[in-house]
Structure 1
Amino acid sequence: MTAMTQAPAGELDIPYEGLSLSAAADFNRDGFVHLSGVLSPETIAQYEPTITSEVIRLNTQHLPLAERDTYGKAFLQVTNLWQENETVKQLVFSRRLAGIAAQLLGVHAVRLYHDQALYKEPSGGITPWHADQHYWPLSSDRCLTIWLPLQETPLDMGPLAFARGSHNFSYGRDVSISDESEARLKQAVAEQNFEDVVAPFALGDASFHRGWTFHHAGPNRGTVPRRVLTVIYMDADIRITEPTNEHQVSDRNWMPGTEVGQVPDTPLNPVLYDSRSA
């Protein structure tokens, strides 16, 4: 048996050196950015087994794929794993990852909204076109999601894909992820000539996308699950707004006790990075 190579000491807290001067500009223009070598393969290997075991333990989806709806076929979804496992918490609370988010958003500090493991099983279906911020009762668009694959993700495994520039397009923000969103937003992307950008992910790559960026993923035609950890970050000074749909009513549970107009400064939403105290 080959011993596992240890992850670089403290990598999760060491600033990422690969963020070019143009990355934030690219992110603002395109609504997303794909970065190489965000974490080392050794760090991914250190955390993936624990995340996977927690997804298996906490998963509540037990129907066969053929009996699920489109959303159910897209992935197994487990949220706020950091509350369940101290090892996962180390990764979710990484200052390295949160620091990238703050720089891309152009803010001093970011706090946690929540994490999500999204595991697309072999033969799992498409992830329909959608925009995440449809679900978020937040006062600005200063929020983003990191999409961190836990294995190499070639095109046949269904890597995340983005409609370049779609975060500036207000149509379609009223539709939840569904067959309807797939049809409406796919048509809108084509009509507006937004480029549908898809690329494979090497181990350690990650993408960051804005809340209103339209994105989707193809099916997993591979033989193993497409294992992904996502973390949603928000401007530390963002405030809660009046919900505009039932999903936003539900999503206020991720910021317990916070009233409309207040900053969600709760135990579930800690500040993960602040440049002023770095």
Structure 2
Amino acid sequence: MDSKSNPAPFPDLGGEYPVDEALRQSYLEKGHIVLRAVAKPEEVAVYRSEIGGLVRKLNPHKKDLNDRDTYGKAFIQVGNLWRHSRAVEKFVLARRFAKIAADLMGVEGVRIYHDQALYKEPRGGHTPWHQDQIYWPLDTEHTVTMWMPLVDIPEEVGSMTFASGTHKEGFITRQVISDESHKTLQQFVTAKGYEQVNYGALAAGDATFHSGWTAHCAPGNPTDRMREVMTIIYMADGVRIADPDSAARQNELPQVFPGLKPGDIAASPINPLVYHRDWDRRN
């Protein structure tokens, strides 16, 4: 981590965003939800510069956009940014976001699985249909991703598109994000008649939350502006690491849970506890 990065000027993201029972039940039924103004525009604006600088520095793409495969055209993807900057750490480990995750899932506490910046370049391609949790070696259904734009996103770019209720299916396909996963899941969603929901235009600081098993995709970016999004993946505190049953999960295990093995509690030093209800009970 860059010890020179000073988080002091960055706004505190504590406090609470109220999640009532109706919101929680909607999330549990559909597997996704949109919450408006989870962070204030002025809060997001301060963090945007720090996050964007790291994305540019750590961008893994060496090829021109047109020379990449479908996955490579979908976005610039950089994970665990919080380990590179004390300022981004303040954003990723924020109590406000973590408590929303715990409230939606109805669990006592949550840990970070990891964060990911997902920047869709101007004229960038679509994100194929997929389920996130095919990558995650976790023995639980209690996972949720917060997807927050750092800039206003217009209607023509929009949010992701979710297939409501697909999280109840568990594994639908083990295909990684690809043209094949897009075809397989599109056919499945259509054949089963699942409602497809896109929340359209989003303001900086709005956020969607979706279950690890919810099938989803995203349109391309037809504009001349970068679609700047920061995501944080949460898992319930106390869940165990599953035996990796695919190449994707085998590759993921040592990166996300260094030093741990199947059957262990999913709590390595890079999976900090970011919220627990006991903390509120003590205050």
- The TM-score by the shorter chain falls in which range? over 0.9
The answer on 1:162 being equivalent to 2:162 is yes
Counterpart amino acid of residue 265 in structure 1 = A
Native 8 Å contact 2:158 2:198 kept in 1: no
Rounded to whole Å, the distance in 2 between the matches of 1:220 and 1:63 is 18
1:66 is matched with which residue? 66
Rounded to whole Å, the distance in 1 between the matches of 2:58 and 2:170 is 36
What CA RMSD, in Å, does the superposition of the two structures yield over aligned residues?
1.4
Listed as ranges, the matches of 1:28-177 within 5 Å are: 28-170=28-170, 172-177=172-177
Rounded to whole Å, the distance in 1 between the matches of 2:236 and 2:32 is 17
Q: SS of 2:264's equivalent?
A: coil
1:273 to 272, 275, 278: 275
Q: SS of 1:146's equivalent?
A: strand
Gaps of 5+ in 1: 1-6
The answer on 1:204 being equivalent to 2:205 is yes
Deviation of 1:270 after TM superposition, in Å, equals 0.7
Rounded to whole Å, the distance in 2 between the matches of 1:113 and 1:66 is 32
Counterpart amino acid of residue 249 in structure 2 = Q
Q: Deviations over 1:103-135 (max 9, x none)?
A: 111100000110000000000000000000000
Q: Deviations over 1:50-104 (max 9, x none)?
A: 1001000011202111110000000001010000111111000000000000011
Deviates more, 1:248-257 or 1:27-36: 248-257
Deviates more, 1:158-167 or 1:143-152: 158-167
Change (3 A) 1:139 1:170: closer
Native 8 Å contact 1:162 1:213 kept in 2: yes
Rounded to whole Å, the distance in 2 between the matches of 1:26 and 1:158 is 21
Rounded to whole Å, the distance in 1 between the matches of 2:159 and 2:223 is 12
Listed as ranges, the matches of 1:160-239 within 5 Å are: 160-170=160-170, 172-199=172-199, 200-239=201-240
Rounded to whole Å, the distance in 1 between the matches of 2:134 and 2:177 is 9
Deviation of 1:207 after TM superposition, in Å, equals 0.5
Return the TM-score normalized by structure 2: 0.92
Rounded to whole Å, the distance in 2 between the matches of 1:22 and 1:256 is 38
Native 8 Å contact 1:158 1:219 kept in 2: no
Counterpart amino acid of residue 270 in structure 1 = P
Q: Deviations over 1:200-227 (max 9, x none)?
A: 2122110110010000000001111100
Counterpart amino acid of residue 135 in structure 2 = Y
Rounded to whole Å, the distance in 2 between the matches of 1:109 and 1:177 is 29
Q: Deviations over 1:171-226 (max 9, x none)?
A: 62321110001111011111111111012212211011001000000000111110
Return the TM-score normalized by structure 1: 0.94
Aligned length: 270
Native 8 Å contact 1:162 1:216 kept in 2: yes
Rounded to whole Å, the distance in 1 between the matches of 2:279 and 2:100 is 15
Change (3 A) 1:83 1:8: closer
1:240 is matched with which residue? 241
Rounded to whole Å, the distance in 2 between the matches of 1:41 and 1:117 is 18
Listed as ranges, the matches of 1:240-259 within 5 Å are: 240-252=241-253, 253-259=255-261
User: Identical aligned pairs, as a percentage?
Assistant: 41
Gaps of 5+ in 2: 1-8
Q: SS of 1:182's equivalent?
A: helix
